[in-house]
Structure 1
Amino acid sequence: MAQAFDPAAATAAYLAQLPPEAHAKATAYTQGGHWLLLWGFLVAVVVSWLIVRSGVLVGLRRGLEKRRPRPVLVSLVVGIVYLLVDGVLSLPWSAYSGWWRQKQYGLTSQAFTGWLGESAINLAIMSVLFGLFFVALYALIRRAPRTWWLWSGALTAGFIALMLIIAPIYIEPIFNKYTPAPAGPVRDTVVAMAKANGIPADKIFVYNGSKQSNAYTANVSGLFGTARVAMSDTMFKQGADIAEVRGVVGHEMGHYAHHHVIWIAGAMSLLAVLAFFLVDRLFNPVSRLLGAEQVKGLADPAGLPVLSVILAVLALLGTPVTNSLIRIAETDADRYSLEHENEPDGLSKALVKTIEYRAATPGVVEEVLFYDHPSVGRRVRNAMDWKAAHPASAKPGT
């Protein structure tokens, strides 16, 4: 008589594929990352305080308005300069958290010069794009001083949609090369999956993600006609087989098919309304606290550091909420992969390879507070539960 399949034992067997020292290293990296949230927040506050005390933004605003008011120009130039100055002052912290720490844990092979160059390009692009956002935001504040925060959700939604549409076409190719999956078994499998799930077969790409990170990963990006599924070449450098590809790409197709990007963007826009409402109420007291006496009020772009401090506080406190939104989408994408591709073992093999940058078995409270994906242990157990519940459709040999 065949022994009954035990999901708990199968989950333990998958997690045991990594030695205890690898799990310990992953836990140290992950839990250290939790502290980075706090230290990053403190760095942001200190940098904003330094910019306020320097008076550089107030001086720039005065210079631009020496002869006559120029609200649009001031919003754009002051916004861009603020972001550039903030980026430069935050560079030591960014280098530590974004490169040195990754290097320390073996999660990147990129040279510091490469990281620095890409960071500079990203800062320049984001400064211009967010500078344009600030033009619209401050125009809203000037024209609707009492209700601007209520309309900020629509502005945020529009900005997020714009970023999602242009990112795959104009931004991502600056940093990585995206090519259609090459001819062969992987491409044949992915194309068949796409057709079976009603997803355009030309929207599946492989990109040279190993240029920046050694992490085993894939993603979905874009919106509407620009949306696409992309697999990092690290998947194949780490020996991804067809079962893993089916499991991982099935997960990403779940994001695509269920429009997770759209509803997460919508949720973030609603949260933006709440955040900007609190900015409206807290700006003056926080401005006094930072010593921003020369800032003329909320409608003054020279007060951007004050606004940023408030948003930094709200972002830190709201981390469990935003993480939970993303975790729900990730769980749904796993379910989609299992339902449509039925590769519980392929998905589990792939998930185990992500433990190095996301500890597998956190406590419940830790997972709720800090994880923007379900823990690997939980996801593998879900896959094994699926396998146990669907023995008739199990793949041969699994």
Structure 2
Amino acid sequence: MAQGFDPAAATAAYLATLSPEAHAKATAYTQGGHWVLLWATLVSVLVSWLVIKSGVLVRVRAGVEGRKPRPWLAVAAVVVVDGVVESLLSLPWDAYSNWWREKSYGLTSRAFSGWLGEHGLKIFIGLISSLIIFSLLYWIIRRAPKTWWLWGAAGVTVVSLVFFIAQLLLIEPLFNSYKPAPPGPVRDEVVAMAKQVGVPSDKILIYDGSKQSNRYTANAGGLFGFGRVAMSDVMFKKDADLAEVRGVVGHEMGHYVRKHVLLGDLETGLMTLAALFLASRLFPAAVRLLGAKGVTGIADPAGLPVLGILFAVMSLLATPISNTMSRWAESDADHFSVVHFNEPDGLAKALVKTIEYRASSPSRVEEFIFYDHPSVGARVRAMMDWKATHPPTPPASPAAPTP
């Protein structure tokens, strides 16, 4: 350990760079978000129940298949009608939780009209995704009525990887402008880092993340040799220096190199397997309990909202499991960053800037249930423990603000 260096004191000093008022505000936002998670599930259940009780999907399915079975068309019609109706019914809640609440805590500067336009685009993309997923799922149910949950989970696992690539190549550019980082110290440093750890170095991008959010963030995405490093302009608006860039981008490169996308997809597949298996057993009881008149069985697409309610409840109950896996991946990426780029102070400074939307010091129970990242306090302490036993990197010069 470096003589005279106290990791606990250094951690406390980093956390103390924010005022008590700022910490209190972050805690209020974070703990309020726990209730938002519960209320979002209740809203989803209520909206699906209203659709069930209206009988609209039964009528849609019956209208499509009035003269002869047309299962593919029936599924498509039900998915579209259900998606549109549920999106409209959920709009007030979505506006509150995703725009008004963010605005009230200073986490977005976006006007409501801008949010609403993007929300509409997300609904459209979601409809396309749902058409693909549920057309596949209902086809599997028809072909393998006893083991559909097994083949369905396999299909979702594969489709999830395809959607991940589509997200990078097609969807994200619909919402943000991604431009090559301008020549200068930041680009040179990130290119060198990418070459050092085997991340593609030809796509070092900066995007206008401030368009949607004031959150300090970056990401590195890709698979099988395709990849890109993208830094939000918020990083530089919040005065990120080169040490922070190295720490944060090193973390994101860790996700790429350590193939966390594949591990996450495996987790998705296993959780989907469990969810579909439980849905196959619980569906008849759920139909009776919810009063879903006219739904003839699990292969009937008119029962889609019943599945939606089951999935919403199971997703809420599985929150601690999915968050535990996510925290492991984030810790692993932190470790990758500090091992390969040795910027504990850079990453610590960046982490402190994220406290505004993720309170720094939750209880162990709160962190276990609700946090998809380790607490900032724990992450900064890990960086200071590393610093105590490893020689420091020479000080980095300030990064030039991006255009």
TM-score by length of 2: 0.96
Displacement of 1:175 in angstroms is 0.3
Conservation of the 8 A alpha-carbon contact between 2:203 and 2:229: yes
SS of the equivalent of 1:293 reads coil
**Following the alignment from structure 2 to structure 1, what is the Cα–Cα distance between the partners of residues 262 and 227?**
11
Q: CA 1:374–1:280 in structure 2 vs 1: closer, same or farther (change >3 Å)? A: same
Where does residue 29 of structure 2 map in the other structure?
Answer: 29
- 2:254 & 2:239 partners in 1: Cα distance? 23
Please give the per-residue CA displacement for 1:300-347, whole angstroms capped at 9, x wherever unaligned. Answer: 111010000000110000000001111100000000000000000000
- Residue aligning to 2:310: 310
After superposition, where does 1:169-208 map in structure 2 within 5 Å?
169-208=169-208
* Number of the residue aligned with 1:159: 159
Instruction: Say yes or no: does 1:396 pair with 2:359.
Output: no
Worse-matched range after superposition: 266-275 or 217-226: 217-226
> Which residue of structure 2 aligns with residue 344 of structure 1?
344
- Asked if 2 retains the 8 angstrom alpha-carbon contact of 1:7 and 1:388, the reply is yes
d(CA) in 2 for partners of 1:362 and 1:181?
A: 36
Contact 2:200 2:227 survives alignment (8 Å): no
Q: How many pairs are equivalent?
A: 395
1:396 is matched by which residue type in structure 2? P
Inter-partner Cα distance in structure 1 for 2:5 and 2:317: 42
Distance (whole Å) between structure 1 residues aligned to residue 224 and residue 95 of structure 2:
34
- The question of whether the paired residues in 1 share the 8 Å contact of 2:74 and 2:301 is answered with yes
| In 2, Cα distance between equivalents of 1:130 and 1:225 | 28
Query: SS in structure 1 opposite 2:325?
Result: helix
Tell me the secondary structure at the aligned position of residue 166 of structure 2: helix
Query: What letter matches 2:184 in structure 1?
Result: G
Match of 2:320 in 1: 320
3-state SS of paired residue (1:266): helix
Structure 1 residue runs without a partner (length 5+): none
How far apart, in 2, do the equivalents of 1:70 and 1:365 lie?
50
Provide the aligned C-alpha RMSD in A: 1.2
| Paired position in structure 2 for 1:49 | 49
1:121 paired with 2:121, answer yes
Could you list the per-position Cα deviations for residues 232-287 of structure 1 after superposition, in whole angstroms to 9, with x for gaps in the alignment?
11000000000000000000000000000111111111110010000000001111
Give 2:354's aligned residue.
Answer: 354
Distance 1:397 1:224 in 2: 34
Q: Kindly, what percent of the aligned residue pairs are identical?
A: 61
Q: Which residue of 2 aligns with 1:106?
A: 106
Partner of 1:232: 232
State the match for 1:300 in structure 2: 300
Q: What code does the residue aligned with 2:93 have? A: W
Aligned equivalent of 2:400 = none
SS in 1 for 2:219: strand
Distance 1:33 1:127 in 2: 26
Q: What is the rounded CA distance, in whole Å, between the counterparts of 1:91 and 1:280 in structure 2?
A: 30
Q: Distance in 2 between matches of 1:131 and 1:125?
A: 10
Q: State how far apart, in whole Å, the 2-side matches of 1:305 and 1:335 are.
A: 42
Secondary structure, aligned partner of 2:202: helix
Equivalent residue number for residue 146 of structure 1: 146
Question: Aligned letter for 1:206?
Answer: I
2: distance between equivalents of 1:320 and 1:341?
Answer: 31
Do the aligned residues in 1 keep the contact of 2:200 with 2:226 (CA within 8 Å)?
no
Residue 177 of structure 1 contacts residue 208 of structure 1 at CA under 8 Å; is this kept in 2?
yes
Tell me, in whole angstroms, the C-alpha distance in 1 between the residues paired with 2:165 and 2:367.
31
Q: Residue type of the partner of 2:145?
A: P
The equivalent residue for 1:373 is 373
Which has the higher mean CA deviation after the structures are superposed, 157-166 or 19-28? 157-166
- Residues 220 and 252 in structure 2, CA contact (< 8 A), matched pair in contact too: yes
Q: CA–CA distance in 2 between the matches of 1:117 and 1:231? A: 24
**SS at 1:230 equivalent:** strand
1:263 aligns with 2:271: no
Q: Which residue number corresponds to residue 215 of structure 1?
A: 215
Contact 1:164-1:223 at 8 Å conserved across structures: no
* 1:168–1:226 Cα contact (<8 Å) kept: no
Residue 397 of structure 1: how far off its partner (Å): 5.1
Seen in structure 2, the aligned counterparts of structure 1 residues 116 and 298 have a Cα distance that, compared at 3 Å, is same
Q: Distance between the aligned counterparts of 2:22 and 2:393, measured in 1?
A: 30
1:74 corresponding residue in structure 2: 74
Kindly indicate whether the alpha-carbon contact (under 8 Å) linking 2:41 and 2:313 is maintained by their aligned counterparts in 1.
yes
Within 1, Cα distance between the matches of 2:53 and 2:221? 39
